[in-house]
Structures are given as structure tokens and as C-alpha cells.
Structure 1
Amino acid sequence: MNSDLHGALAACKTLPTLPTVAAQIIELSSQEDYGLSDIIDIVRNDITIATKLIASANTPQYYRGEPAVEISQAVSRLGFKSTMMIALSFSLSVKANSEEQSEIDLLSLWRRSVASGAIARLLARELGLKDPEACFLAALVQDIGVLALSQAAPQTYSTLSETSHEALCAAEKAAFECDHSAVGAWILEQWKLPSEITELVASSHDFATLTLEAGSRKDQWCIAISGLLADAMLAGDQFQAARMVWLIDGVCGENNGTESNIVPLIADAVREAEALFEAQLVQEPIALLEASKEKLFEVMTDASRDVSDDKVTQLEKRVSMLERQGQRDSLTGAINRGHFHAELDRLFIDSTNTHRPLSLMFIDADHFKQVNDTYGHLAGDEVLKWLASAFTELVGEKGLVGRYGGEEFVVILPNAAEKDAMLLGQDVCDYVRDGTVTAGDANIQVTVSIGIATFDPDSKLRGTRDLIFAADQAMYFAKQSGRDLCIVASALPTPPQAVAAAG
């Protein structure tokens, strides 16, 4: 956080304030001598929070055979720590929801917070964490910094409703040298919330780092991924939802040692949150999440499966044949998507039969929209052609370069082990970073993010769909981890069983 922002926050008189009940609970928790009766005295004076606590005590996670009908029964069943976290959650959520902000889409922010809280708490339970309610509270208030920044720097938030969460964070970092997770943590520190909540909010945007770093805190990861999955579900983005669910299955599967079936649990958690918060979040969440799997396979497996002469096995002859048949992308000269799938199918079968490795590289041009917006689409086309030429030169006879769509390219590397593909990927990153594309009077520099997946005799990947999705997932992590780098899929947690075998 730069000094100008810190000063603006400190001087702002309209920052979100701590509700009375929350302040009383925090004060109680700081005392050495307290009991359940003390917190009962606090929450029973707020009928809304008392009602929510009773409802929480009657959810499946806390139900004990008889319904809790009084606040004393609810608090006794929940215990002090859970009661404190749940009461703070409802107290702070009510306050946040009542703030009058004209610059931001508060309803969307509210829905994201509730959905994220529900998902984070479920994941914490699935991973066996000791305090899932802390994850619930942290996820619920993780965007409190947006409310603060909308008051301290309102000009930055004039178009919030038209901006993705990722784009918003990037704009914040450019303007303030931090994003709203840091501001939210600062606000919570002023409120004297427990340090564990402040730390969880501060790391809520560190999804890629938390996933890739071994030994990272699982509670922090629950908060970070819950926001991304909530975004996907609320936007109806089936492909992004599938990415997140695939990763959640992997983490929960590694933790439990069994295949996870997280989809119905997520749907139930969201529905439960809707009932507790009296909010409508996602239309038929289980249908959305299940459909996301099918959407993923539709996107990953092109309808065109025109496999030509299987007897042609030499790569040079295959490329020549593709050229003659016009099976190349008209702009870049790389093989087109349909024939990428055909070649991948053929080479996957060959790899299976010969027990030789097969690597797949997904390459995405970073911030390509900015190139088009700044220099125009004709310049963007020149960048794509330059990239395809660079990839073809670097790959040479080791593989096939294809254009998957938009600014995304693929490279099939027969007989290439993961370490060899990784070395090539790093070379590609270096070459592109150091190069310059001339388009008219403009000299344009770009970078790329690369994901690599490898099929070999020891691989858990069972088909081309698995291979494609794993490479795409690794590329997504490269972008989430800062872009301009190469990541292998083996660095990511994977489900005990792969996504799905090719049809």
C-alpha cells in the first residue's frame, strides 16, 4: 500500500464501521475470563443475529437429533469459537449489505461474498480443518476493501459493475501498489478482528501461489479458490467453474485419499447459505456445475475429428499433407484446431502403443486485448503471425504448432519428456520476451504464459481430453502466477482419477 492511499484511508470519514454487536463480541474475546453466558447476553439482544445462530445450529453440521429453539441451546451446540465467528459473520454481512454505495454494484459484491463464504466453509470441512467457521467469516468479508476504496478513492470504482474481479485487482495494483485484499486486511486490523481472519483476507488473492507452493496453508487456499468459483458460478461461466472444480477434486482427493465428488456438496452449501442469508445467489447450482463438465469437454474436443491417412507416420510428410489439404489457420499458418485434435488423437495412440512420452504445450499471449485496444486489430494480427512464426522456428522438427483459437496456441511434442518440454517452454518465454513485433510505426513487445502436460507410461492421464485439460490448467496457473512463465501440470494437485477418458 503506497503512502498516498494509506493517508487517504486514514483521513476518510466514511469508511465501513464496525457494528455494535461485532464490537462487543471482539471485546469479549479479548478478555481472559468469559463464558458462553456472556456471548448469549450479547447476541440475544439482536433478534436477527440470534435467529441466524439458531438456524445455523440446526444445519446438518451441528444438528444433534433435536432442534435448537432457543439461543442458549444454539450457543451451547455451536461452542464459543463457532458462535463468535458465525455471529461476526452475520453482523458484518448485515453491515456491509446496508452500506449505501452508488459507485459499485453492491448486490453483486454481496452475492459473491455469501457464495464464497459457503464454498470456503465447505472446503474447510472437507479438508478437515479445525475452524471452518473462520474460513466462512474470512471469505464473507474478503472484499470489505472494495467498500473502503470506493470511499477513499471513488474514481477507481466508477465502473466496478462492468469490470471482472481480476481486472479490478490489476487496476488497483497499478494505482495503489496493492489491491483490495490488503486494504481489507488493514480495515480488519483497525477493527481488531482476530489475526487469523486478517491473514486469511490478506492472502485471498494468492490462489496460484497457495496452490503451487507445497505446504501452503489450506485455510488460505480455501478462501482464495472460493472467490474464483463463486465468480464463475454467479457469472454462469461453465468452463471456469469446471477448472475450479477439477482442482478442488484434486486437493480434496489428495487429502482424503479417495476420489472426491464435490459438486453436490458445493450445491448444497450454496443453497444452505441462500436460506441463512435470505439471498438468491445461483439458479440451480448443481445443474450449472454438472453442465460445466460437459461444456468443458465440448470446448476441449472439437467437433471436427477428420483423421486422414494413419499410415503416414513421418512428421515432415504429415505437415506437408496438411498444407496441401488446406488444413491450416489462414492467418498464422499454424495447423487449425480441428486438425490439431486429429493429430493429437493419432499421436496419443502412437504414444500408448510405443510407451514413449507425448507432451502438449498450451501457449497464451498475455494481455492480448490491450494490444488490440492500443494498436488496433491489424497490429494484433501481426503479433499473432509473429508468434506463430517464432513457435514454429523454436519447435522445428520436434513437433507441431497449432492455433487453438484467438491468441491461444498449442504445440504437440511427440517423444518429448516433461523436462524436455519444460526447457523448450522456457526458451519460448525468453524468445518472445526479448523480441519485438513491428506493426506500422509501432514496435510491440509481448509475453506468453505456457502450460505443459505430459503423457507417459506412469501418467494418470487416460486420454486426449485429460491431456488437453491438464495443459490448459497449467497455462491458467501460469497466468495466475504472474504471466510470462511456464508451468507443468505435474506441479498441480490432480484428482486420484483423471478427468475423463477420451471417447
Structure 2
Amino acid sequence: MDESLQQALLGAQLPTLPAVAVQLIGLGQSEHADVTQLVDIVIRDPALSSTLLRLANSAAYRRVTPADTLTLATSYLGFEPSRMIALSATLVPALAGDREQPFCYTPYWRRALLAASCSRAIARRLFPRDVESVSLAALLQDVGMLAIAQLPNAVYQGQACETFDHKGAVAREREVLGEDHATIGAWLLKRWEFPENLVDAVAVSNDYSRWQAEGKAGDFDGAVMASGLMADAWMSADQPEAVPTLHDRICALLGAGWDDVIEIMTEASAEVPIVEALCSTKVMDEASLQAALDVLAVAKVDAAGQAE
């Protein structure tokens, strides 16, 4: 990334991590980390403790004996999933944003949380042991936008929030800054010492051509990128002209047909309440989610990539 842009970002009011997030990241870098240390960190935050207990007792993780202690909850979830879940729950409120900045925070978070929901459904099929890691990468794939929003050149000035367009935002970023938010987001996550696989997935999340050259269908990076495009499809279901490109790319990224993609999105709709509870943020109402899914389910795309 250009040095002058790095200096501009360092001079801006970048999002900062709460102490508990720093501790959770550090725990992942320790060779001697264990559940006891994780519980010691989480138990100091009642809301975070409640989130882990609630998720451990959800249908996705529930055992015969309910988890009534944090130690039991983390044993049901697993050490690394518990750490990723705690990080997700901690980061969203911390990164909520300065609402006085010229940026569309509501559609930003809608895309982020829809992507996280889609990624969970994707990962349950492709990476069942890494569901929470894929979900966290999907949740953070656009975090660079929050840094860009703090720059004085107002990249997003005049953007109509009602017609928030991720693709258009990327084009505007590249025009003004010479980089897009994926590069900046990866730079930010690296400064925060996030795991390398998450940093790499965020770095490539807007670069489909790069993925075509370096990736393969169903890999970690492709799953994260596909989750964002599925969120775009959900948010733009009333724009049939957007379907062909999204269709082709999502199918290629996952190595799946459109019927499979719709099935994954249907499963993702059941993940939305989990993500909403995890992040204490509302995504979309159930009726709107289902209506958009119904539109996408009947959208047919021929071999030439044209919506019918």
C-alpha cells in the first residue's frame, strides 16, 4: 500500500480494539493457551459471557446436558470457536462507527452480518471445524471501509444510503485512493495481529481476478468472497440486472450450481438470528429476507450469463 496512504490512515482516527479483543487475539498467539485462560478473559464481561452461554445452548451446539457454566460452554463450542465467537461479539460494538461521518453504517453492517450468516452456512459444508473463523473473516471483510470513513477526503461523500452499492463503493475508493477497502482492511487487521489466514482472506475479498489466478473452488478465501456476494444478492434482489454477474462468480467460487447456492442461502437465513444475537445488531426482518430469497430462487441464468 502506498506510503502516503498509510500515513494518512495513521493520522486518522482509526477504529481501536477494546482490551478484551486484544487479549483474545494474544491468546491465539500463545502456545500454552487453554480454556481456563479464555474463561478468565470472558468472565469479566457479563454480556460476553451471556453470549457464549446462549450460543453453546443453541440448536447448533446444544448437548444433552445444558451448559450452565462458561467452562462447560467453551468445552461444547471448542477453544478456537469460542475465541472467534468472543472476538466477533466484542468487535461489532467497538467498530460501530462515528455516525457523524459521511458513511452509510446501516447498509454496511447489513452486508457484514448477512455475509457472516452466509459464511456460516458455507463453512458448515466445506470447513465444519472452522465455521467461526470463516464467519469472523466474512464479518470483517469490509472493515477497511470504517478506516476510509475517517479520512478527511470524504471518499463516500454524497453516497445515497438507500441505494448503497458495494461494487460502486469499491470503484470510488480505487478512483480516489488508488486502493480499495480490502487492501486497507487487511493492513488494519495485520496491525491488530489477526491470524494470517483471516488477513489474507480480507485482502483478496474484492479481487475476483486474483482469486481466479491463485485460488480454487471451495477454498477459504473463495468462501469469504462468496459470502459477500451472496449478501449483495440478498440486498439487491429487486435489481435483476445484478443477478448474472453475482450468479457466475458465486457458483465459481464455491464450485456449485445455483440451486446449491439457493440452498446455502436458505440455510443461512436460519443463521441470521444467531449472528444477530452474537453481534447485538439487527440485520433484516424475516419477511424481507424470505421475499428476497424467493426472488433469487426463481431467477434463471442461461449459459451466456443473462438473467431471464
Map Cα deviations across residues 316-374 of structure 1 (whole Å, 9 max, x no partner).
Answer: xxxxxxxxxxxxxxxxxxxxxxxxxxxxxxxxxxxxxxxxxxxxxxxxxxxxxxxxxxx
User: Is the contact between residue 74 and residue 82 of structure 2 (CA under 8 Å) also seen in structure 1?
Assistant: yes
Amino acid at match of 2:271: A
**5+ residue gaps, structure 2:** none
Determine which structure has more spread, i.e. the larger CA radius of gyration: 1
Asked whether 1:293 is paired with 2:290, we answer no
2:170 aligns with 169
Map Cα deviations across residues 204-261 of structure 1 (whole Å, 9 max, x no partner).
Answer: 1124553676636611111112112212323443634687568656776759xx9983
Inter-partner Cα distance in structure 1 for 2:109 and 2:189? 18
User: Is the contact between residue 114 and residue 272 of structure 2 (CA under 8 Å) also seen in structure 1?
Assistant: yes
Greater length-normalized contact order (CA 8 Å, ≥ 6 residues apart): 2
User: Is the contact between residue 102 and residue 149 of structure 2 (CA under 8 Å) also seen in structure 1?
Assistant: yes
Report the alpha carbon displacement of residue 165 of structure 1 after superposing the two structures with TM.
Answer: 1.0
Length-normalised TM-score, structure 1: 0.54
2:142 aligns with 143
2:27 aligns with 28
Give the SS at the match of 1:62: coil
1:16 aligns with 15
Amino acid at match of 1:287: A
User: Is the contact between residue 182 and residue 202 of structure 2 (CA under 8 Å) also seen in structure 1?
Assistant: yes
Inter-partner Cα distance in structure 2 for 1:131 and 1:182? 23
1:2 aligns with 2
User: Is the contact between residue 253 and residue 259 of structure 1 (CA under 8 Å) also seen in structure 2?
Assistant: no
Inter-partner Cα distance in structure 2 for 1:266 and 1:213? 27
Map Cα deviations across residues 142-169 of structure 1 (whole Å, 9 max, x no partner).
Answer: 1211111111244212234355111111
Question: For residues 155 and 190 of structure 1, do their structure 2 counterparts lie closer, same or farther at Cα, with a shift above 3 Å needed?
Answer: same
Asked whether 1:266 is paired with 2:268, we answer yes
Report the alpha carbon displacement of residue 87 of structure 1 after superposing the two structures with TM.
Answer: 0.8
1:183 aligns with 184
Question: When you count helix as a share of all residues, which structure comes out higher?
Answer: 2
Report the alpha carbon displacement of residue 95 of structure 1 after superposing the two structures with TM.
Answer: 0.7
Inter-partner Cα distance in structure 1 for 2:212 and 2:262? 18
- Deviates most, 220-229 or 65-74: 65-74
Q: Percent identity?
A: 31
Report the alpha carbon displacement of residue 59 of structure 1 after superposing the two structures with TM.
Answer: 2.8
What does residue range 60-75 of structure 1 map to in structure 2 within 5 Å? 60-75=59-74
1:223 aligns with 224
User: Is the contact between residue 117 and residue 136 of structure 1 (CA under 8 Å) also seen in structure 2?
Assistant: yes
User: Is the contact between residue 206 and residue 225 of structure 2 (CA under 8 Å) also seen in structure 1?
Assistant: yes
Length-normalised TM-score, structure 2: 0.86
Amino acid at match of 2:294: E
Inter-partner Cα distance in structure 2 for 1:32 and 1:253? 36
User: Is the contact between residue 263 and residue 286 of structure 1 (CA under 8 Å) also seen in structure 2?
Assistant: no
Inter-partner Cα distance in structure 2 for 1:109 and 1:43? 27
Amino acid at match of 2:304: A
Inter-partner Cα distance in structure 1 for 2:106 and 2:261? 36
Amino acid at match of 2:141: Q
Q: How much is the aligned-residue C-alpha RMSD, in angstroms?
A: 2.9
Inter-partner Cα distance in structure 2 for 1:64 and 1:242? 42
User: Is the contact between residue 9 and residue 147 of structure 2 (CA under 8 Å) also seen in structure 1?
Assistant: yes
User: Is the contact between residue 210 and residue 217 of structure 1 (CA under 8 Å) also seen in structure 2?
Assistant: no
What does residue range 114-125 of structure 1 map to in structure 2 within 5 Å? 114-125=113-124
2:110 aligns with 111
Inter-partner Cα distance in structure 2 for 1:272 and 1:241? 27
Report the alpha carbon displacement of residue 3 of structure 1 after superposing the two structures with TM.
Answer: 2.6
Question: When you count strand as a share of all residues, which structure comes out higher?
Answer: 1
**5+ residue gaps, structure 1:** 298-467, 477-501
Question: For residues 154 and 96 of structure 1, do their structure 2 counterparts lie closer, same or farther at Cα, with a shift above 3 Å needed?
Answer: farther
Amino acid at match of 1:106: Y
Give the SS at the match of 1:157: coil
1:470 aligns with 303
Inter-partner Cα distance in structure 2 for 1:248 and 1:174? 26
Map Cα deviations across residues 59-91 of structure 1 (whole Å, 9 max, x no partner).
Answer: 333222333232222111111111111111111
Question: For residues 169 and 214 of structure 1, do their structure 2 counterparts lie closer, same or farther at Cα, with a shift above 3 Å needed?
Answer: closer
